[in-house]
Amino acid sequence: SGLAVVSLKPLPKDLNVITCPLSLVVTPELSRDALSSLGLNCVGLTEKQLICTYLSMHWVLDKTSQENSSSSILPHFRHGPYLSMMPDQSKLRTSLHFNPQELDALKGSNLYAATLDRLSDMQTDWTTCRAAVVAADASLAGNFTSDLYLTASTYLASRAFPSSILSPNPTLVASPSSYPVLLPGIDTLNHARGQPVTWLVSYPDQIDAASVRDPSVSLVLHASTQTGEELFNNYGPKPNSELILAYGFTLPDNPDDTIVLRIGGQGGTGKKWEIGRDAQGFDAVWEEVYTIFSSQANDEEVEPFANDLDTANMLIDMLGTLLERLPDDNNFAIEIRPDVQTMISHYIEGNIIMYPTRPS
């Protein structure tokens, strides 16, 4: 999108660079209250559906008011300025926003299937939320389009933090009880792998109440920054497949790239295994396949190395099949945008590097 936060002067290390009052955080509770003010029955809507519908209704209400030449000022919908700084839909580059030729270029990859699944889930969510909008005010439903919902969903997927970030001991590790939240302002910082950062949450009962007007969440950067340099957050280790699917960018030679193996067939559990560079996670999938061959051997007399050999051959075949299905990044269609070509190439390279050569 080209959006970045740049330092106007030298900044020392260990500096609190940005703070967001908790009153401005976009939460499911805030979204539910705002939607309820329009008469929406929010019972049964998930946290994600609530937030995406809340974001979408800013645009819906604005467009509807323009069509009716009326005012769209509603006190419950106060994140318009926040949304106005977001990249336009035409600048979004997640795989959910790929054109048909770009999506076709992913055929044969795990990312292709993941994108179709995500699009299907989004369409289901939109249909559910639209039904709630229609029931509350049918005049708003025409402007509550699936494209609008996809944009809101992309903003949430690419900018959300787990609600655990708001706890007195903030953490980016999601739990079964956590849910997505948006932190306006803080989420404008782009990602840099390994960037040293710390999250701080301040509550009036923890510090001198006179020194803070609102509970807030802050981001501390532990690296110094020179004039004109960009300030970065750290999203944590993410493979290029996830970066394309949720964020719309990639990292060249991404050390966090993975391939996904699924053990199916007789004896297989259907479980998916992620294998990283330098064979990270490989021991677990080896043990799974080895167990399958050991159980099938039963009481038959086999050479001590037979199960090892069978396991190795099966995994080599699986990797070979996976790589043979990968798309060819040497022959892009002219309809594929240059920045998308780069992302797809980075993604394919990250898969091929797991195997010495592409099978012939």
Span 221-242, pLDDT tens digits = 999 999 999 999 988 889 999 9
Q: Can you give the pLDDT at residue 277?
A: 80
The predicted-structure confidence for 114-140, as pLDDT tens digits, reads as follows: 999 999 999 999 999 999 999 999 999
The predicted-structure confidence for 17-48, as pLDDT tens digits, reads as follows: 999 999 999 999 999 999 999 999 999 999 99
Task: Scan for tokens 């099938």, then name that residue.
Answer: 296
68 is written with which tokens?
């009716």
Q: How far is residue 206's CA from residue 216's CA, in Å, rounded to a whole number?
A: 12
98 is written with which tokens?
């790929």
Helix axes 282-297, 306-324, angle to 10 degrees: 120
Q: How far is residue 111's CA from residue 302's CA, in Å, rounded to a whole number?
A: 40
Reduced to 3 states, what is the DSSP secondary structure of residue 15? strand
Q: Can you give the pLDDT at residue 305?
A: 76
Q: How confident is the model at residue 175 (pLDDT cuts 50, 70, 90)?
A: confident
Q: How far is residue 111's CA from residue 118's CA, in Å, rounded to a whole number?
A: 10
CB atoms within 10 A of CB 157: 19
CB atoms within 10 A of CB 24: 17
What is the overall mean pLDDT for the chain?
87
Contacts (Cβ under 8 Å, ≥6 apart) of 290:
307, 308, 311
Q: Can you give the pLDDT at residue 326?
A: 80
Determine how β-strand 258-262 pairs with β-strand 272-276.
antiparallel
Contacts (Cβ under 8 Å, ≥6 apart) of 32:
42, 45, 50
Environment class of 264 (CB within 10 Å of its CB; exposed 0-12, middle 13-18, buried 19+):
exposed
Lowest mean per-residue pLDDT among 93-102, 202-211, 291-300, 318-327: 202-211
Q: Is residue 354 predicted with pLDDT exceeding 70?
A: no
Q: Is residue 356 predicted with pLDDT exceeding 70?
A: no
Q: Can you give the pLDDT at residue 14?
A: 96
Lowest mean per-residue pLDDT among 74-83, 106-115, 204-213, 299-308: 204-213
Q: Can you give the pLDDT at residue 56?
A: 98
User: Which one, of 243, 80, 311, lies nearest residue 71 by Cα?
Assistant: 80
Q: Can you give the pLDDT at residue 320?
A: 77
The predicted-structure confidence for 80-96, as pLDDT tens digits, reads as follows: 999 999 999 999 999 99
The predicted-structure confidence for 63-83, as pLDDT tens digits, reads as follows: 988 887 766 668 899 999 999
User: Which one, of 148, 139, 137, 159, lies nearest residue 53 by Cα?
Assistant: 148
Q: How far is residue 313's CA from residue 359's CA, in Å, rounded to a whole number?
A: 14
Q: How far is residue 291's CA from residue 155's CA, in Å, rounded to a whole number?
A: 43
Q: Can you give the pLDDT at residue 213?
A: 64
Kindly state the average pLDDT of the residues 255-275: 74
Lowest mean per-residue pLDDT among 153-157, 213-217, 299-303, 317-321: 299-303
Which amino acid type is present at position 123? Q
Instruction: Between 306 and 130, name the one with better pLDDT.
Output: 130
Contacts (Cβ under 8 Å, ≥6 apart) of 330:
none
Instruction: Between 289 and 106, name the one with better pLDDT.
Output: 106
CATH number belonging to domain 23-188: 3.90.1410.10
The predicted-structure confidence for 49-58, as pLDDT tens digits, reads as follows: 999 999 999 9
Half-sphere exposure of 57 (CA within 13 A, CB side): 31
Radius of gyration of the chain from Cα atoms?
24
Reduced to 3 states, what is the DSSP secondary structure of residue 270? coil
Determine how β-strand 190-191 pairs with β-strand 232-233.
parallel
**Alpha-carbon separation of residue 229 from 6, 85, 192, 234 (angstroms):** 5, 20, 13, 16
For the chain, the domains span 23-188, 250-352
Kindly state the average pLDDT of the residues 186-205: 87
The answer to whether residues 17 and 231 touch, using CB atoms and an 8 Å cutoff, is yes
Instruction: Between 298 and 28, name the one with better pLDDT.
Output: 28
Q: Can you give the pLDDT at residue 357?
A: 46
Strands (DSSP E) found in the chain: 15-21, 161-162, 180-181, 190-191, 197-202, 216-221, 232-233, 258-262, 272-276
